[in-house]
Amino acid sequence: MKIPATGLAALLMAFAGCSQPSGTDAPGDDTAGTMGDDATRAAQALPPGVAASDAWVREVPAGGRVAGGYLTIANGGDSDDRLLAVESDQAARVEIHEMRHEDGMMRMRHLDDGLPLPAGERTALAPGGYHLMFIEPVRPFAAGDEVPATLRFAHAPAQQVVFEVRGPGGEER
């Protein structure tokens, strides 16, 4: 990804505090993006179909050009699905990304084919791993605001989701 110097500061601000939270799988692990082992998943029965929860997005300071978005998607169906796109009238576009350690560096890449959602599993989009990039917000996102979006899947019906805007460290205010 090539980033112009003027956008570098905004991008760095968007990823401030993007360290991997404890208790989640690290990107690059065999279980990256899924929540727990088979026994844990079996104990936590998923509702049928694909369902999103815990959606939040980082606050964007005045002049900021990107905001990281996070949520958990549970696929309680019998077959794999895929998050293909996210749309919001509050940003010029929303992209699905992955961050991972490669050759001692943290790298980010756009997932052109979307994000796989394995059957019977929860997939976490969280700081330091899979995430959404709200690019060129139409106005600054302020803590306490809400950002509506539509999730588009390969098989499941589209879903309306409201992202809660949180402060720079992801904290609620």
Residue 11 has pLDDT above 70, yes or no: no
Q: What is the pLDDT of residue 37?
A: 53
pLDDT digits (tens, 9 = 90+) for 30-50: 444 555 555 344 436 777 899
Checking if the pLDDT of 88 tops 90, the result is yes
**Mean pLDDT in residue range 13-36:** 42
- In whole angstroms, what is the distance from residue 59 CA to residue 67 CA? 7
In a domain, 22, yes or no: no
At 33 the pLDDT is: 52
Mean pLDDT, residues 23-35 taken together: 42
pLDDT at 171: 58
Say how far apart CA 110 and CA 97 lie, in whole Å.
Answer: 4
pLDDT at 46: 77
> Is 58 among the domain residues?
yes
Q: Is residue 135 part of a domain?
A: yes
In a domain, 31, yes or no: no
CATH of the domain at 107: 2.60.40.1890
pLDDT, one tens digit per residue, over 121-160 is 999 999 999 999 999 999 999 999 999 999 999 999 999 9
Report yes or no on 122 lying in a domain. Answer: yes
Using a cut of 0.75, tell me whether the model's pTM lies above it. Answer: no
On whether the CB atoms of residues 52 and 159 are closer than 8 A, the answer is: yes
Quote the CA–CA distance of 121 and 144 in Å, as a whole number.
Answer: 30
Which ranges constitute the DSSP H helices of 4-158? Answer: 5-14, 38-43
List C-alpha distances in Å: 71 to 2, 3, 4, 58, 63. Answer: 26, 25, 28, 12, 25
Taking CB atoms within 8 Å and a gap of at least 24, the contacts of 8-12 are 10/63, 10/64, 10/65, 10/66, 11/65, 11/66
Rounded distance, CA 4 to CA 159, Å?
A: 34
Q: Considering the domain boundaries, does residue 29 fall inside one?
A: no
Q: Is the residue at 117 inside a domain?
A: yes
Q: Looking at the domain assignment, is residue 19 inside a domain?
A: no
Domain count, the chain: 1
Q: Are 33 and 124 in contact (CB under 8 A)?
A: yes
- Which residue segment(s) compose the domain that 60 sits in? 50-173
